[in-house]
Chains A and B, each alone.
Chain A
Amino acid sequence: MDFVLNFPFFSIMICMLAALSTFMLGRRAAAVVAKLALLITLVLSVILTVYLHGTGESFVYMMGHFPAPWGNEIRAGELEGVMAIFTCVIALLSLIAGKYSIRTEIDDTKQNLYYLITCLMEASLLALIYTNDIFTGYVFIEINTIAGCGLIMIRNTGRSIAAAIRYMVVSLVGSGLFLIGTTLLYSITGHLLMQNINESVAALAADGSYSVTLTIITALMTVGLAIKSGLFPFHLWIPDAYAISVTPSSAMLSGMVSKGYIFLLIKLIYRVIGFDVYSSTGVFDLIFIAGIIAMIMGSVAAIRSGYLRRMTAYSSVSQIGYIFMGIGIANSAGAVAAIFHIITHGLTKSLLFIAASSFTGRKEDIRVSDLKGLGHKYPVSAATFTAAALSIIGFPLFAGFIAKMLLANASFDCGWRMYAAIGAIAVSTILNVVYFFKCIINLYAFGGFEEEKKDTEGSTAEETADESVKATACVDNEDRPTKYENALHGICAAVLAIINLYIGLAPGLLSDIITKGLNVF
């Protein structure tokens, strides 16, 4: 056995061990350990993906000493490798770019715990990506939920805890449904490994026995995962959770946390229940319609919100809708488009939150109209924000355009789904243009700069009192980003924008890997 095949296991364990060790370290050491662990994981994932791209096959890795029907397994192919790279990149860049945000907005003694949560989050996501056992999937879903809750409430204000508790309640309903689905699936198949369940389910479906039970199981597990990833009727926790938490949290939550569940759903469709059985239950229609409604409603809510980060959070609701619509098209091209969009949206949305952090400063959120002229003050952030916004809109040159095109292409020859999908993409794109162009135009507008300066620096009550006092207070270096932090922030944003542009200009490699990966899934 090649040594490379150990890498999925290693990357999960490295993140876990880093999480454990940050508990005992000071904040600076914890930051170094966490970033180092993420970097090592990234390198391992890249090597693994290159190797698997060469062989073009996926492999099963036995955990412990018990063979297939009893033991626990990890399974990895190109697709899993790409997803692992994607989560590592987002986690690493969010942490580096959010250095200032972490330093100023989190209590000094709690900062090492933030790195603990991040490593735990990454470990649980990697486990969700690699696992071949449905119950292990459930356990890591819960770890992911707890880590996500930590990411939301780390600011430790009343609002963030209230947002976290709402997130927990909704998430726990979702995981309850997933667990009961798993239990029923175990009771009719007698297996927990995905491969064995798939064989049993195929045999049951051929018999025609337990068809009602299978439909219920599929619906329960799908709805459970949809609730956790924030699909339309269950999206109410998203805006608070994303808009209130600190910048790296928002970037990670929107970029990769909700995507882990969607990846598990794709696994459920292709590897556990099996595509044919899944489509015979009619759950695809449910996902498709919910996705379409989410695309429109998310954008409408974003237009109505009027606040920068809250708007971006609502935009996530609509983009999750795109992904679910892609899955709901119910063919492999749709799934490829959905996975492609998972990656592009993750890169884009985390970039939006990272770039928005320099406009909001230390405030939780600002009005879109208050952005006036800020583009001249923060040129790098404004440029990357514009790039990300254009990518979300689906402007050619950017990755978002390719994702939308793949989604539209996948829906051809699918009857009523084609009209619904293309219509919804068109309407949603126009709505996206409405709210993102408002931001971009405000960013590059002249005038209003002076007022804005007042608003961003300190509370409104103090400002009117004395300008000069405030001006001296602002020089206080503790509260302002250092040059080093600014540079790191700019570099991370630029890297994300360049990756986005690269995928937009040369989408062949990524879509090729996803297509081939899905074939050997």
Chain B
Amino acid sequence: MFEQIYNHFNDIVAAILFVIGFSNLLFQKNLIKKIIGLNIMDVAIYLLLASQGYISGRLAPILTDGSENATTYINPIPSGLVLTGIVVSVSVTALMLSMTIRLYRKYRTLDLDEILVKVRKEKEDKGEG
């Protein structure tokens, strides 16, 4: 059993991180903590993805003075996907943070529940749906 855990160490850590991030994204009330949860979730996926392409004992796929034999290198595609994913995650995080700043300026709180209560109050004052 320990050997199994050792062999799939990356996958297990990724799964634990994913659950932590996922539940933080969904259940935290604080917007900043939500965004941190989002980032943990993304990192977990990238860890899983990067470890799919890693082959123990091989080199990064960069041709300098090494051999041109493909069997000495790891699979580069997952690394490329991770890079793309990081770009996506950075832009989404930036967008979320900018919206958080706007909401904080308007409602002076980071608690999403409180914000929604204030929004509902605003709605009732205006008498609109």
Contact = CB atoms under 8 A, between A and B. Distances in A.
A44 interface: no
A158 B116 CA distance: 10
Nearest to A143: B88
B99 A153 contact: yes
Contact of A176 (B45, B91, B103, B116): B45
A161 B18 contact: no
A9 interface: no
Interface in A126-171: 135, 139, 142, 145-146, 149, 153, 156, 158-159, 161-162, 164-166, 168-169
Interface range for B? 35 or more
A55 interface: no
B52 A186 contact: yes
Contact of B95 (A149, A187, A192, A306): A149
Nearest to A165: B99
B57 interface: no
Interface string A174-214: 00100110010011000010000000000000000000000
A161 B49 CA distance: 33
Interface in B77-117: 77-78, 81, 84-85, 88, 91-92, 95-96, 99-100, 102-103, 106-107, 112, 115-116
A179 B78 CA distance: 13
A180 B45 contact: yes
Nearest to B41: A176
A165 B113 CA distance: 12
A135 B129 contact: no
Interface residues of A, number: 39
A453 interface: no
Contact of A168 (B99, B122, B128): B99
A369 interface: no
Contacts of B81: 135, 186
Interface string B54-88: 00000000000000000000000110010011001
B125 to A, nearest CB: 11
B124 to A, nearest CB: 12
A75 interface: no
Of A135, A156, A166, A180, the most chain B CB neighbours within 10 A belong to A180
A243 B25 contact: no
Contacts of A310: 129
B5 interface: no
A183 B52 contact: yes
A176 B41 CA distance: 7
Contacts of B84: 135, 139
Contacts of B31: 165
Contacts of B18: 176, 180
A307 interface: yes
Interface of B: 18, 21-22, 25-26, 31, 34, 38, 41-42, 45, 48-49, 52, 77-78, 81, 84-85, 88, 91-92, 95-96, 99-100, 102-103, 106-107, 112, 115-116, 118-119, 122-123, 127-129
12 contacts: A142-B91, A158-B107, A161-B103, A165-B112, A168-B92, A168-B99, A173-B22, A176-B45, A186-B52, A307-B128, A308-B129, A460-B127
Given A173-B25, A365-B128, 6 more contacts: A146-B91, A161-B106, A192-B77, A307-B129, A310-B129, A460-B127
